[in-house]
Amino acid sequence: MAEVTFDELERINTYAQTKLAAEDVFTFGVILCNDQPDRDNERFSKSALEKLAELFVGKTGIFDHDPKGRSQTARIFDCAVETDPETGESRLRAKAYMVRTAGNADLIAEIKGGIKKEVSVSCSVAKKICSVCGADVFTDPCMHIKGQEYGGEVCVHILDEPTDAYEWSFVAVPAQRGAGVTKSHTDESAVGGGGEFAQEDMKLREEILRLSYFCKPFISGEAVAAMTGQMNTHQLRSLRRRLRKAMLEDEQRLYAEERSMIPRAESNTDFMIGSD
């Protein structure tokens, strides 16, 4: 909300159809996201923030992720990763601008007064890494559940390799406590939602539950339900495949152990029948 510099005005004017003067625009800074766990027990990696710093330049600011054009209110013209001097966390700071009009005077006043403050980002990532075992839950789902503790470590999913940034929104309740932001992510396999996808997902979850009874160590039905409830069709298929493979390997191992316990003959004559 400081005075617009010449360099900033030059960047802003790359998005304008007519050249804007300093008095025509209102600029403000916003922390989009950081590398700390949010309320969903997910966090961005440092490299993800660096990529998002590129992707969010030029992206529009709206309200509550409403994709309609009438919701557009601001645009990012600069973005960079910085280190919080107090906490040491990495965070994504953006600079946004609005064109001053009679219609947005109240919004500008609310931003200045700290009423409109919290924001949320919408983007897509290619990887979601389990902090406990390092598995990419998109392609190789593990049995660790977000928010659960394993050996003194709380499991979180690390969002990595952003592929696109869609928009950022003013919201009332942020997910990331430290940065005061929220975020969403999608991938091409996260379609589902109804019809054939929903029916297949239900059958996959039922089969995974049955297969889980053969898991070693044993996983409770409640834990399996909580884990599979967060997965899309692609992830469910992958997990079913892994469980089937694990069960088959256990059966083969058990068979080999049973075979090893059968007494072996000392010589071929032990099996000769009717000999003199």
210-230 per-position pLDDT tens digit:
877 776 666 677 777 777 877
Phi, psi (5° rounding) for residue 39? -70, -15
Domain residues of the chain, as ranges? 6-184, 195-260
Give the whole-angstrom CA distance, residue 107 versus residue 115: 9
| Alpha-helix residue ranges (DSSP H) falling in 189-232 | 195-212, 221-228
> At 54, phi and psi to the nearest 5?
-80, -45
Q: Which of 116-125, 157-166, 179-188 has the highest mean pLDDT?
A: 157-166
How much of the chain exceeds pLDDT 90, in percent? 43
Q: What pTM does this model have?
A: 0.66
Q: Identify the CA nearest to 125 among candidates 64, 230, 45, 200.
A: 45
Greater pLDDT, 241 or 56: 56
Task: Label residue 148 exposed, middle or buried (CB < 10 Å: 0-12, 13-18, 19+).
Answer: middle
Structure tokens at 135: 């598995």
- Helices 221-228, 195-212: inter-axial angle, 10-degree rounding: 150
Q: Is the pLDDT score of 93 beyond 80?
A: yes
The separation between the first and the last C-alpha atoms of the chain, rounded to the nearest angstrom, is 108
